[in-house]
């Protein structure tokens, strides 16, 4: 049973195909699912994400059907494995997801093997995400925790270990075996990061490129190596078990919890399929609605303001006498244009834009007194600029603009070539909005 985002399926068929997963996923929110220690939801809410709606459901019941929302990825539970494909990625390829990640995260994933299963492809992507999670966590400083150290010398400063002392110091040579509990940077979590760094460097096809993807990443990798002086490759299994048994709990170190999850997935995947045979769900999910918006920002940021909701930055107020801020996806007050990013299926909508989205874009255009307002969405059809109508009042032109996502391609390189042509067509339409004429 092939599952795609933004598609509807009979609930009875889905429950029959995935009885265990359906009980754990249907009508559950992203927020509830992300609390599972074996499930990684990208982007995590701490990664400077402003519009990620963790109250949204990935699978929602609608009468006797269920609808999959703007989430794709892999989820497993015991012997059940659910793959949620992008509706823009026919067959086994995930070119569209790979391309958006490459653009948004500024990473090079051109060499991902499309012949692998979706699960294996996502496993490869985890290593490309590592720098992002590492840098987010290291902003809080190097993680410290208590760790027990064993010594055998003349500088006694802890609890004497009688059994070890007798074994090591008979006959007595002046040394004493003892142990101490120290608050240190060289701890189980930092050791986990070190093992992950060494694994990526030696095992990943582009390991060195991943770990040197930015100056900040190089600095943080060096910092981890510096504080883990007791690193020993033979302790890998022991370190993994210690981190599984003691996940990061402190609220201040939320970033380190997600990084810990990611490292465990990278290091244990080949033996445990992204989490093992646990009765809990495990896997990785991508919020493609967020990715779509950030992907558009890579093309629009030179000419449009992209508000930051969580940072309360660049919003617009609904009222003159008091502040109640709203946050359009993109707007330009110099030439009075506002754009809304939609990952929804809009190419086949008879009336152009559904009522909720239409009212939203009307609100933005009214407050900004825009000349043009529209939604930008991905489509399997050729790129198209469609005028919906001219509004009463300020008379803004309401439109929808599609970006063609290539379908029948044989390789990622071919996909890359075709989607760049779609981007060029989109940029020409934006030039028309900005300057009233096509790009010369």
User: Per-residue confidence at 439, pLDDT binned at 50, 70, 90?
Assistant: very low
What is residue 275's predicted lDDT score, i.e. its pLDDT?
Answer: 42
pLDDT value for 280: 72
Question: pLDDT tens-digit profile of 10-22?
Answer: 999 999 999 999 9
CA distance 428 to 40: 38
State residue 291's pLDDT score: 92
List pLDDT tens digits, range 396-407: 899 999 999 998
**pLDDT > 60? residue 303:** yes
State residue 213's pLDDT score.
84
The answer to whether 365 touches 316, Cβ cutoff 8 Å, is: no
Residues 84 and 3: their CA atoms lie apart, in Å, by: 5
pLDDT band at 24 (very low <50, low <70, confident <90, very high): confident
pLDDT digits (tens, 9 = 90+) for 148-181: 778 888 888 878 888 888 888 888 888 988 888 8
Lookup: tokens for 294: 């950030």
pLDDT, average across residues 293-320: 85
Tokens of 98: 């790979």
According to the model, what pLDDT value does residue 200 have?
Answer: 93
Residue 118 has pLDDT above 80, yes or no: no
Q: What percent of the chain is predicted at pLDDT more than 90?
A: 32
pLDDT band at 417 (very low <50, low <70, confident <90, very high): very high
Tell me the C-alpha to C-alpha distance, in Å, between residue 51 and each of 30, 43, 44, 67, 293.
13, 11, 11, 21, 9
**Cα-only R_g, the chain:** 26
Confidence of residue 120 (pLDDT cuts 50, 70, 90): confident
pLDDT at site 272: 43
Cis peptide upstream of residue 131 (ω within 30 degrees of 0):
no
Across 410-432, average pLDDT:
91
Residue 37 has pLDDT above 80, yes or no: no
**Which stretches does DSSP call E strand in 241-323?**
282-287, 316-317
Burial degree of 420 (CB within 10 A; 0-12, 13-18, 19+): exposed
pLDDT score for 438: 42
pTM: 0.83
Q: How far apart are CA 134 and CA 216, in angstroms?
A: 10
Residue 308 has pLDDT above 90, yes or no: no
Where is average pLDDT lowest: 98-107, 267-276, 281-290, 303-312?
267-276
User: Do 342 and 376 contact (CB within 8 A), yes or no?
Assistant: yes
Tokens of 432: 């028309």
Residue 321 clears pLDDT 80, i.e. is over it: no
188 pLDDT band, cuts 50/70/90, is: very high
Task: Please give the pLDDT value at position 178.
Answer: 86
Q: List, for residues 205-229, the tens digit of each pLDDT value.
A: 778 888 988 899 999 999 999 999 9
Q: Per-domain residue ranges for the chain? A: 3-142+186-289, 145-184, 301-435
Residues contacting residue 31 through CB under 8 Å, at least 6 positions apart: 54, 55
8 A C-beta contact, residue 327 and residue 372:
no
Per-residue pLDDT at 338: 93
């Amino acid at each position: 049973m092939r599952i795609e985002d933004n598609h509807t399926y009979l609930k009875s068929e889905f429950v029959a195909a995935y009885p265990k997963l359906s009980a754990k996923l249907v009508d559950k929110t992203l927020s509830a699912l992300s609390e599972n220690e074996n499930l990684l939801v990208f982007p995590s809410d701490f990664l400077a994400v402003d519009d990620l709606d963790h109250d949204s459901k990935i699978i929602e019941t609608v009468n006797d059907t269920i609808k999959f929302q703007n989430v794709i990825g892999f989820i497993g539970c015991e012997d059940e494995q659910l793959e949620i494909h992008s509706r823009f990625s026919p067959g086994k390829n995930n070119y569209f997801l790979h391309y958006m990640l490459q653009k948004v995260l500024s990473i090079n994933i051109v060499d991902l093997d499309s012949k692998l299963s979706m699960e294996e492809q996502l496993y490869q992507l985890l290593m490309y995400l590592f720098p992002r999670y590492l840098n987010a966590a290291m902003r809080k400083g190097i993680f410290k925790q208590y760790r027990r150290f064993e010594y055998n010398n003349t500088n006694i400063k802890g609890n004497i270990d009688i059994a070890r002392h007798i074994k090591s110091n008979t006959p007595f040579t002046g040394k004493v075996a003892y142990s101490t509990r120290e608050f240190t940077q060289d701890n189980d979590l930092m050791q986990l990061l070190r093992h992950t760094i060494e694994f990526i460097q030696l095992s990943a096809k582009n390991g060195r490129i991943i770990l040197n993807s930015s100056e900040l990443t190089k600095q943080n990798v060096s910092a981890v190596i510096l504080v883990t002086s007791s690193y020993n490759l033979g302790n890998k299994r022991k370190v993994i078990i210690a981190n599984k048994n003691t996940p990061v709990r402190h609220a201040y170190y939320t970033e380190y919890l997600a990084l810990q999850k990611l490292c465990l997935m990278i290091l244990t995947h080949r033996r445990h399929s992204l989490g093992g045979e646990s009765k809990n769900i495990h896997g990785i999910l991508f919020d493609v609605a967020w990715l779509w918006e950030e992907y558009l920002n890579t093309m629009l940021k030179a000419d449009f303001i992209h508000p930051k909701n969580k940072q309360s930055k660049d919003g617009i107020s609904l009222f003159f006498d008091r502040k109640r801020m709203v946050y359009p996806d993109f707007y330009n007050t110099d030439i009075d244009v506002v754009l809304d990013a939609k990952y929804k299926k809009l190419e086949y909508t008879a009336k152009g834009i559904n009522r909720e989205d239409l009212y939203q874009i009307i609100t933005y255009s009214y407050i900004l007194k825009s000349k043009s307002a529209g939604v930008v969405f991905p489509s399997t059809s050729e790129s198209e600029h469609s005028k919906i109508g001219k509004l009463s009042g300020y008379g803004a032109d309401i439109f929808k603009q599609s970006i063609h996502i290539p379908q029948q391609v044989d390789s990622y390189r071919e996909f890359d070539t075709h989607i760049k042509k779609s981007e060029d067509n989109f940029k020409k339409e934006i030039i028309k909005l900005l300057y009233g004429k096509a790009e010369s």
